[in-house]
Chains A and B, each alone.
Chain A
Amino acid sequence: MKNEATNILTVDNLKLHYSSAKGFFSKKEIVKAVDDISFNLLEGETLGIVGESGSGKSSICRLVLNLISKSSGKITWFDKDLDTFNKKQMKEFRRKVQIIFQDPYGSLDPRMTIGSIIKEPLDIFNKKFLKKEKEKIITELMNDVGLSNELFNRYPHELSGGQCQRVGIARAIINKPSVLICDEPVSALDLSIQAQILDLLKNLKNKYSLTLVFVSHDLSVIKSICDNVIVLRSGKIVENREVNDLFRNPENEYTKKLISSVPSPIPLKR
């Protein structure tokens, strides 16, 4: 069924290398944060990216969004190379592809109210909207993500982590993007809030027909939300398969280890 969907984002041989010297006299070492990665993103799917810390998950997200520059490789958005985009096209791309960050609190400007944080993307992309229309859109959106409207004039430090992440989600989807990249959106939250946010993302995906890229180090989270999964290890793709298939018969040793390391709700008897 997935084969018929349109391919909206293609990543070819993406690389991100840092050179770092450990000491003043020592030789420079090349750190391969992302090493020769290729994958496709199909419309409407939820693509999971899983891997341990430092495996390059977040780097891939930022590279795809052009928030950091790549060392080499090619990213294509609807058959157009991202490198050839001019400023206007880049702005439109940023509108279409949005991201939710891992750190819900630090990702919000501490000097802005919740209302203005959510409103800001609306201000720059839809200048023609009247103030009242904007307020209506924001109020509806805040309801959609489960934020009370009383929070409109509050500051991020007055909110809980889960509420901050909801603000992050609201500001990401306010301009109706087609792709939403979730860079470990729940890893900083406790388990009950995690479940709420995951539910919220699933609902929003249906309501706004989003394509999700879901990054996590937690396989149980991936299993609950994703269609396809990419398993990463030190910047390289280990496996890229359909999710149930992957959990049923993992091919790679590393994947097996990851799956067996998921804590089970029923403790094993010794």
Chain B
Amino acid sequence: MIKFITKRLLIAIPTLLIIIAFGFIMMRVAPGGPFTNERALPPEIERNIQEAYNLNKPLYEQFFIYIKNLSVGDFGPSFKYKDFTVNELIISGLPVSATLGLSSIIISLFLGSFLGIIAAVKRNTYFDYSVMSVSLVGICVPSFVMAPILSLFFGLYLGILPTSGWNGGSILNLILPITALSLPQIAVISRMMRASTIEVLNSNFIRTARSKGLKSSYIIRKHVIRASILPIIEYLAPASAGLMTGSIIVEQIFGLPGIGRYFVVGALQRDYTLVSGVMILYASLLIILILITDILRAYLDPRVKI
């Protein structure tokens, strides 16, 4: 087990290096730079800025400087948010995004699989049809529609929840953004869970369990869930990496200081270090989550060897 984890983490290092190099080159290849303005700067000032950020050096040298700083955990200064380092930006924004993402992924996992299992057990009944049609709506309505509707209804018309703001992470402020993030996930998970549960329910070992005389609730708990949750686990790794690094839409609509916007803003403004920083964060998170998924899968299915 420990050997497996160390091996996977060692493999992760070259993976990350490739991702960093790729991101580095892509950003530099894109036209324009962090200091390209509509109004041209005087050449001396431009040269000074270039020098300050090492932009005048050849590309490979810039890359090595960047890697050298990275190896001690320094993501470098942000090119656009003056006086902030990328480390500071991530440290201030990540807790917000991670709180939202983690809560919403936990809620969707439980609610989604619960609904999916019941829909599968009661398949082709009105319960099944209503859960599945509501979840279809949940998948189809994008969050930039759902979030304002939620905000309008609960925040403005009913006035029971704040429409926006972080407010130090108070629960009331979190309810609406978490709901907006969770709804599509609940929809996807419940549909996946329904399909996989139906498949498991039709398998031979469930027939054996029934012929043993076991109660159906017991069969669901003991035999079905462990098998039918597997596809959900696989789906969860990329989904939670995405949710935990923030969603620009939900964060913008609810005015939350997360890191979701840095992906978009950083790329648009050619903020080289910021984009690289959040990209490395996302990639490492994904690598760790996939590792956890593999361990979980081996735990849930003894046929899988790790």
Instruction: Give the B-binding residues of A (Cβ under 8 A).
Output: 62, 65, 67, 91, 94-95, 98-99, 101, 103, 106-112, 120-121, 124-125, 155, 157, 168, 171
**What 0/1 pattern do residues 200 to 216 of B give for CB contact below 8 A with A?**
00011101111111110
Q: Are A110 and B205 neighbours in the complex by a CB distance under 8 Å?
A: yes
Determine if A67 and B210 form an interchain contact, defined as CB atoms under 8 angstroms apart.
yes
**Once the chains bind, are B208 and A94 in contact (CB under 8 Å)?**
no
Instruction: Give, as a whole number of angstroms, the nearest-CB distance from B220 to chain A.
Output: 13
B301 CB–A CB distance under 8 Å: yes
How far, in angstroms, from A107 to B207 measured CA to CA in the complex? 7
The smallest C-beta distance from A237 to any residue of chain B, in angstroms, reads: 24
**Beta-carbon contact of B205 and A120 below 8 Å:** no
CB distance from B297 to the nearest CB of A (A): 11
Interface residues of B in 207-230 (CB under 8 A from A): 207-215, 218, 222-223, 226-227
The 10 closest A-B pairs by CB, nearest first: A94-B213, A106-B204, A109-B205, A107-B208, A155-B302, A107-B204, A121-B212, A99-B211, A157-B303, A111-B226
Task: List the B side residues contacting A112 at CB < 8 Å.
Answer: 223
Tell me the smallest distance from the CB of B305 to a CB of chain A, in Å.
10
Nearest-neighbour CB distance to chain A for B96, whole angstroms, equals 38
Q: Can you name 15 extra interface pairs (CB under 8 A) apart from A67-B207, A67-B210, A110-B303?
A: A62-B207, A94-B212, A101-B208, A107-B205, A107-B208, A109-B205, A109-B227, A111-B223, A111-B300, A111-B301, A111-B302, A121-B212, A121-B213, A124-B215, A155-B302
CB distance from A167 to the nearest CB of B (A): 10
CB distance B303 to A155 under 8 Å?
Answer: yes
* A120 and B302 alpha carbons, distance in the complex (Å): 18
Q: Which single residue of chain B is at the shortest CB-CB distance from A157? A: B303
Inter-chain contacts of B210 with A (CB < 8 A):
67
Contacts A67-B207, A101-B207 given: A110-B301 contact, CB under 8 Å?
Answer: yes
Q: Distance (Å) between the CB of B127 and the closest chain A CB?
A: 20
CB contact list, B177-214 vs A, under 8 A: 203-205, 207-214
Q: Is the CB of B204 within 8 A of A120?
A: no
Partner of B205, one of A62, A65, A106, A125: A106
Complex CA–CA separation, A95 to B209 (angstroms): 12
Contact of B208 among A91, A95, A108, A124 (CB under 8 A): A108
The answer for the CA separation of A171 and B213 in the assembled complex, in Å, is 12
Complex interface: chain B residues within 8 A of A109 (CB): 205, 208-209, 223, 227
> Does the CB pair B302–A110 fall under 8 Å?
yes
Chain B residues touching A, majority SS: helix
Q: A109-B223, A155-B302, A155-B303 are in contact. Are A124 and B213 (CB under 8 A)?
A: yes
Task: Return the contact of B227 from the options A62, A106, A111 (Cβ within 8 A).
Answer: A111
Task: Give the most central of B205, B214, B215: most A CB within 10 Å.
Answer: B205
Chain A residues whose C-beta falls within 8 Å of the C-beta of B204 in the assembled complex? 101, 103, 106-107
Cβ–Cβ contact B300 & A106, under 8 A: no
Interfacial chain B residues near A171, Cβ < 8 Å: 208, 212
Chain B residues in 8 Å Cβ range of A110: 205, 227, 301-303
What are 12 pairs between A and B in contact, CB < 8 Å?
A67-B211, A95-B213, A98-B212, A108-B205, A110-B302, A111-B300, A111-B301, A121-B213, A124-B212, A155-B303, A168-B208, A171-B208
Closest to B223 in A: A109
For B226, the chain A residues whose CB sits under 8 A away are 111
CA A106 – CA B300 in complex, angstroms?
17
Residues of A within 8 A of B215 (CB): 91, 124
In the bound complex, residues from chain B placing their C-beta under 8 Å from that of A157 are 302-303
- Give A121 to B209 CA distance when docked, in angstroms: 9
In the assembled complex, how far is the CB of residue A177 from the closest CB belonging to chain B, in whole angstroms? 10
Which residue of the partner chain B has the closest CB to A168? Answer: B208
Look across to chain B and name the residue whose beta carbon is closest to the beta carbon of A110: B303
Known A-B contacts A110-B302, A111-B226; A98 and B211 likewise in contact (beta carbons under 8 Å): yes
Residue of B nearest to A98 (CB): B211
- A91 and B300 CA atoms in complex are apart in Å by 29
Residues of A within 8 A of B207 (CB): 62, 67, 101, 107
A67 to B222, CA, bound (A): 19
Specify which chain B residues have a CB less than 8 angstroms from the CB of A121 in the assembled complex.
212-213
| B223 proximity list for chain A (CB < 8 A) | 109, 111-112
- In Å, the complex CA distance between A33 and B195 comes to 27
Task: Please name all residues of chain B whose beta carbon is closer than 8 Å to the beta carbon of A124 when the two chains form the complex.
Answer: 212-215, 218
State the CA gap A103–B227 with chains docked (Å): 19
Q: List chain B residues, Cβ under 8 A from A95.
A: 213
Give the docked Cα–Cα distance between A110 and B300 (Å): 10
> Which residue on chain A has the smallest CB distance to residue B227?
A111
State whether A65 touches B212 (Cβ < 8 A): no
> Whole-angstrom distance from the CB of A145 to the nearest CB of chain B?
16
Q: Specify the chain A residue showing the minimal Cβ separation from B209.
A: A109
Closest residue of B by beta carbon distance from A111:
B226
Residues of B within 8 A of A94 (CB): 211-213
CA–CA, A171 to B226, complex, Å? 21
Which of B203, B212, B215, B218 counts the most chain A CB atoms within 10 A?
Answer: B212
Q: Determine if B209 and A125 form an interchain contact, defined as CB atoms under 8 angstroms apart.
A: no
Nearest chain A CB to B223 CB, angstrom units = 5
Complexed CA–CA distance, A109 and B208 (Å):
9
